Chain A
Amino acid sequence: MVEAPRSLEELVRPHIDSFDYFIGEGLQNVVELLKPVEIEQPGTLRRARVWFESPRVARPLKDDAGGAADKRLFPRDCREAGTTYKGAFHLDIMVQDAGGGPAHRLTRLMGHLPIMLRSTACYLRHLTPAQLVARKEEAMEVGGYFICNGLERIIRMLIQQRRHYVMGLRRSAYQKRGPTFTDVATLLRCVRRDESSATVRCHYLRDGTASFAFTIGRAEYFVPVGVLLKCFLEVSDHEIFTRLLALIPQDPGGGDTAMADRVERLLQAAAQLGLHTRVQCLEYLGSLFRGIIEAPAHLTDLQAGEMLLREYVLIHLSQPADKLQALLSMTAKLFAVAAGLCTEDNADALSSHETLLPGSLLSKFMADKLAECLSIFKRQVLQDYEKLPEQVDLRNPIYVKRIADRMPDIGKKVEYLLNTGNLVSNNTLDLSQATGFTVVAEKLNFFRYLSHFRAIHRGAYFAQLRTTTVRKLLPESWGFLCPVHTPDGAPCGLLSHLTATCRIVAAPPDSPEDSQHAVAAVAASLGMVPATPALAPPACPQYIGVHLDGRPIGFVESRSAARLAARLRAIKAARLASEQGRLPANLPPLQGPETLVPPDLEVALVPYERGGPFPGLFLFTSPARMIRPVVQLPGGSSELIGTLEQVNLHIRCPDGTDEVAGMSGVRYSHAEINCAAMLSVVASLTPYSDFNQSPRNMYQCQMGKQTMGTPSQTVRHRTDAKLYRLQTPQTPIARTKRYDEYHMDEFPSGTNMIVAVLAYTGYDMEDAMILNRSAVDRGLSHGTLFKTEGLDLREDKGKTMVFAAEKKSDRDRPQERPRGAFGQDLPHPLTSPPASSAVTGPLKVKPQGVQKNDERIDVDGLPHVGAVVYPSQAYYSKVDCTTGKAKTGALKGEEVAVVDQVAIVGTAEPSLQRANVLLRLNRNPVVGDKFSSRHGQKGVLSQLWPDINMPFVAGTGMRPDLIINPHAFPSRMTIGMLMESLVSKAGAVQGKFVNGSPFQDADGVGSTQQLVKVASDALEEAGFSRLGGETLISGVTGDEFVADIYIGPVYYQRLRHMVSDKFQVRSTGPVNALTHQPIKGRKFGGGIRFGEMERDALLAHGAAYLLHDRLHTSSDYAVMDACASCGSILTPLLHPAETAGVGAHLLAMQGADSKGQVVCRVCKTGRAIARVALPFVLKYLVTELAAMNIKCTFTIRQ
């Protein structure tokens, strides 16, 4: 058993760490920050305060375990039973008199929360591979997903705006906010400890002032910045004036009076409203907003204003002084951007992004839902005060419990979120989308499974955007997002994948405040001037601001900022080293607050540059940031850098020069660890991808994820609807380093095929390929499709069913022979009766004759393991307990299945109700199946040539397994595939695996020339040609080919697209009852539509007969009677002979036969009746028209 390597666990770490934080500290934060509700007793001034405390999430337990000793619910149980892996979630409801007095505590079960696998609340957390296997799990199980109704679902990572970083933007949409609004605004996303967030904006107005925008519920509100600035502290206008001006980066001595004018006008806004002091401003805001923010009646306007600032304005900061500072920097940046003193930020660049992690989403959601619970509680109590005031007693636990029972089941809501990906909430939660948060982590193969955890989506909103700017690959994402691994088509550029080395800070430091204090203290000790409310800041750009998690903490001299940043980096690197348990000598020893600096601290220094980005030293300790390791250049110690940080660093690429390109004299401060750092896991598994044209590598990333391989080592215990498996997989000869690093051999997904590049028979044109049938006979690319059929007797509503075999009398009834796709008999009858006794004798294989169900179904009504089931044959039977009648379930589809496993679900008490039948379908290669190499070279199998028809190598007699056409190469330029062929051939003759990692030149592992030389030498030594070509002789004629043929082993993948799932043919079959035209749909045996455009094509060719055949003869051809005298096709009716009645003698004269006579009801005669062939749908049309009083007459001539 192979343990999951650390690197593999590292890939799902963001998910698990984030969830771990959520169920621990995260929930605690949510509950702590939740605003208590106050319930006022009408008439009195007595108020009660209600809040939550101590949330706890328990490990999953079985609810139907009964008296069983082990009540633990394991993931495997959930997968098999199709239930959710969830643990109990408890909260304490606290009720206290607002005036004081003891708080009453009531513990309540709020529902069951789905538990992420391998999180702290999961039983699999610390299990060894052997223990995991004993629990019927993968030995290399890494977790990171939820099990919802038996499906493995994960919360998709989303890209969102970076928190606590002021962004200056120009967007034309901002002009629509009001008549005086311009397109300039600064924007700040504020996030609290509980991950609830609010985005606020400062808009630049045409008159030179600014307006502050914030969101309450789903509505947006605007306040003049001049008013808001005065609300935080008792400061004079002059003070604000000087502070704001000092923050705006202007050239020294420039003395821009225009800027001063603007700031003055900004401050006049308050004065114009007659607001001069802080109290006045607050009361003004309080009176305006108290209704909107639902401030309690007992609060004064001043208190309501304070409440507004506390809960809606810059919510990430608690101190008014900090809020003022933050608002000042927002305004300063706004004016700077508006005046063109600095550039706006790029909202599409990764430097201004962070991730939405599963834990954050759940935190936000939980905060919202718990607040809802409290408000429901309050509403209920108030209702009771109105109706039954005498019953209300919030000190009585029984009453509180009764009210609390009205709270919704939080677990159900979270489950709904996970099951559907839909977020149901009254407000947006500061998210850009409400759906698509979760996806199923399909285990099609290991590549696809892994990519689900590394995928990161830009957001559903951007998918609808017409412009392609958001999809562009920007240099900021270097090293964090893989440039290769993104799908082509609709989600291109929006669905990216993290590089293998990229990590995500999933949780804040252990004690965020302490870390922040430590960072601030360290910065201060290194020359930062701390910001104090009393002191006016030194002027920018001599000094630049230092911001820690969106809080301006001080200023640093521009000249020494770089030194400060460098020192912080050194500390950071030392912390990382000590955390990893090593202390390189070249790093300084840490003392005092330095030991509390988080190793993932982001030190983004944006130096002042005229017209450049807004300067500042931005420090981040917050979670959700993407980070990655790089090497510090003098010293070589490892450092974690963030996306914003990276933009202003000089990082040397492995093939780079000594000095920064284009900046003479500037040395690199960092270096990449290796070239693979820029690639995602899947992209780094393509060998020699640096030799390929880039889109080919993208195609391979897609196809690698569609490959039939080894999805799981626990196929028997899985209940996936479909599972593809390659029967005889191999390990590739040419493999990258990462292949071994991630133990991909545990889940191999292809075969080393001997590939000849050769135009042989024409059956390899246009990406078709020829496979050696004899090789397929020997097991090449043999595959199996596993299907799980869940049998659930509870689905028969109103009946009591049990699994049981049919009664004897029923079973004696001979069954109809099963029919195949074209109505042929199954199993195929032998062409000649077998002479051997082995077939007819003791083996009891009856190729002809009746099939009885009991050959497949056991007495318990379930199939035998190993039973062969033909299409539409019964494979299980159930009996109605009341009527005693048996009902059998037939196999759907057109393929023969073998019963692989029968798993009983749940207990058999009182009677067995559920079972999972795992069916095995043979999917060996057939013409039309899809294959691909690892270089984006896909092809369709066009012929299975027997060995003798394949060309063979003159010297060795080797026949290729596969022939592809040389035309596949020139335009696609997949030289990597040719390299793989040559190098694998050398590896094969030497019995060695070959390193196929890309960029070996740059990484210094070996040069291309060397690589080829080593391979050529090995080939030569083994008696092959240096260049990989060999003399081939045609297997059909025996003639030698004029040219040498390039031949060697290439790792080929079999893709899951197979003809057996796709072919659609029909001769006759079901028709639509109304129109008598063939129905559509492969599933129902329908045809493929011959539509208007196809009709046009035939018309253009003048193929009238063919057209008639398609549209009439093979469609709704109908022979009907028409009356030539009245021209109707509806009136002719058949009069049976015996009931002819009145005109019987007349009809007899007209030659009516024994069946009767067709008579027109209108003309009352059968004389003019003609039989005509018409499309049936015409009759339908005429009938419909008749219903609308429109008569259709037809002129009928002989």
Chain B
Amino acid sequence: MTTLGENRRLPHVQIRELKDDYCEFLLSDTDPSVANALRRIMQVEVPTIAIDLVEIEENTTVLNDEFIAHRLGLVPLVSNAVSSMTGVFETAGESGFMDVEMTLNVKCTSDETMEVTSNDLQLDPNHPEVCPVGYSHDAFDPEKKGILLVKMRKNQELKLRAIARKGIGKDHAKWIPVATVSFQYMPEITINRALMDTLSEQEREDFVKASPTPVFRYNNITKQVETDHIEQYHWDGEALAKAEELGKPGLVTIKERQDMFIFRVEGTGVLKAEDVVITALDVLHRKLYTLQTSLPEQDDVAPLPGVQ
């Protein structure tokens, strides 16, 4: 398998799992810099919507104004409408809207402790699609309780206006669209067959057991050691140590492949994991385009192929 050459510019993506809040894919035929760039962009440059300005009219709760404002900011808002919004630092005059205004007006009148949650937020009538994740008015479903903002006792009151805006994670963590996004190098394990043949069957089985993760498998039929779940390899070095112990250094060689990465994107509900990836690629593309157009034109540089 070639790691360098023309293929470098033609990465491949193989999707392994795709759910609303989780996406796992294999990025191959590229190098770590591209993988890392993609990760960084997914994390902090995919725009989302979050509450940014809070005007407090009445607050007699136990939490102070800044604290409540901060908590509101961290409430994840469904951000599918973000593409039609304009950020504060973006050029004015673009067609999108800038503010989504939510209000919160609750007062505890009962003797019991009242929980104010994200479900108590009243949405902007112009943009009802921008709402807290899991927003629901089903008071009886404990699954849909909403995100707790503050607890109240009798006669406490909270009245405020909150303005949600478009933003990116670079400015504040509340705009980060994912819980985690990470990639992992695909290990490459080669078994030295010649050396392996010198081991007894018992030794082979011991060797397989030495690894804490099921990286190797002992094939009962062929009596051979085979690689199994390679990507679960922990870089623990146990197998290598076992090989040393058996007096067979070089029994296996383990390398990390520099051209294949397992990506895992875990969403927060703000955006679909899939959308995060696609937007990130889009942002990356735009960045490269900007770079390309601002570089002085040189004839011998071929134009960048489109990144899919």
Contacts and interface: CB of A to CB of B under 8 A. Distances in A.
B212 interface: yes
A195 interface: no
Interface stretch (A522-530, A949-957, A979-987, A1069-1077): A949-957
B99 interface: yes
Given A777-B174, A832-B89, A838-B99, A1039 B66 contact: no
B99 A1033 contact: no
B35 interface: yes
Interface string B171-182: 011101000111
Contacts of B43: 947-948
Interface string A829-855: 000101111110001010000000000
Contacts of A893: none
A774 interface: yes
Interface in A1027-1046: 1031, 1033, 1035-1040, 1044
A343 interface: no
Given A778-B74, A958-B180, A1040-B185, A898 B235 contact: no
A849 B54 CA distance: 21
A952 B169 contact: no
Contact of B182 (A727, A954, A1044): A954
A1040 B56 contact: no
Contacts of B180: 952, 956-959
A1188 B236 CA distance: 85
A866 B184 contact: no
A989 B163 CA distance: 37
Contacts of B67: 727
Contact of B98 (A773, A784, A836): A836
A377 B43 CA distance: 85
A383 B86 CA distance: 94
A542 interface: no
B39 interface: yes
Contacts of B184: 954-955, 1033
B183 A1033 contact: yes
A779 interface: yes
Contact of A920 (B64, B101, B183): B64
Contact of B40 (A773, A782, A835, A948): A948
B163 A838 contact: yes
A946 B175 CA distance: 13
Per DSSP, are chain B's interface residues mostly helix, strand or loop, or mixed? mixed
A839 B44 contact: no
Nearest to A782: B70
Given A957-B180, A957-B266, A1037-B32, A838 B40 contact: no
A957 B182 contact: yes
Contacts of A815: none
A1095 interface: no
B157 to A, nearest CB: 13
Contacts of B169: 774, 946-948
Contacts of A774: 169, 173, 176
Interface in B149-179: 161, 163, 169-170, 172-174, 176
Given A866-B56, A948-B40, A835 B32 contact: no
Nearest to B91: A835
A1121 to B, nearest CB: 56
Contacts of B37: 1038
B192 interface: no
B173 A948 contact: no
A391 interface: no
Contacts of B53: 838-839, 843
Interface residues of B, number: 47
B32 A843 contact: no
A948 B59 CA distance: 36
A777 B173 contact: yes
Interface in B90-110: 92, 98-99, 101
Interface string A780-800: 001010000000000000000
B212 A1020 contact: yes
Bin the interface of chain A by size.
35 or more
A832 B89 CA distance: 8
Nearest to A868: B65
Nearest to A776: B173
A770 to B, nearest CB: 16
A953 B172 contact: no
B178 to A, nearest CB: 9
Nearest to B65: A866
A775 B180 CA distance: 13
Nearest to A922: B66
Nearest to B263: A957
Given A839-B53, A866-B59, A1038-B32, A946 B170 contact: yes
Contacts of A1020: 212
A960 to B, nearest CB: 13
Given A777-B174, A898-B64, A1038-B32, A952 B182 contact: yes
B33 interface: yes
Contact of B234 (A835, A898, A946, A1025): A1025
A395 interface: no
A549 interface: no
Contacts of B173: 773-775, 777-778, 947
Interface string B14-53: 0000000000000000001101110110011000000001
B45 to A, nearest CB: 9
B88 interface: yes
A594 interface: no
B32 A953 contact: no
Contacts of B56: 866
A1026 interface: yes
Which of B35, B182, B236 has the most C-beta atoms of chain A within 10 angstroms of its own C-beta?
B182
Contacts of A1033: 36, 182-185
Contact of B32 (A866, A1025, A1039): A1039
A1038 B35 contact: yes
Contact of B65 (A843, A898, A1040): A898
Contact of B181 (A773, A837, A843, A957): A957
Contact of A1026 (B55, B74, B212): B212
Contacts of B203: none
Nearest to A1027: B236
Contacts of A959: 180
Interface string A1133-1177: 000000000000000000000000000000000000000000000
Interface in A242-261: none
Nearest to B93: A835
A779 B40 contact: no
Contacts of B32: 1037-1039
A306 interface: no
A1166 B134 CA distance: 88
Contacts of B101: 838
Contact of A954 (B40, B185, B236): B185
Contacts of A958: 180
Which of B32, B56, B66 has the most C-beta atoms of chain A within 10 angstroms of its own C-beta?
B66
Nearest to B98: A836
A747 to B, nearest CB: 16
A1037 B35 CA distance: 10
A681 to B, nearest CB: 28
Contacts of A843: 53, 55, 161
A43 B87 CA distance: 104
B182 A1038 contact: no
B256 interface: yes
B272 interface: no
Q: Which 6 A-B pairs have the closest CB atoms?
A: A1038-B36, A957-B182, A957-B180, A777-B173, A774-B173, A1038-B32
Given A1020-B212, A1026-B212, 8 more contacts: A777-B172, A777-B173, A784-B64, A835-B92, A836-B98, A946-B169, A954-B183, A1040-B256
16 contacts: A774-B176, A778-B74, A782-B70, A835-B92, A836-B98, A838-B53, A838-B163, A947-B43, A947-B176, A952-B182, A953-B182, A957-B181, A957-B182, A1036-B36, A1038-B33, A1044-B236
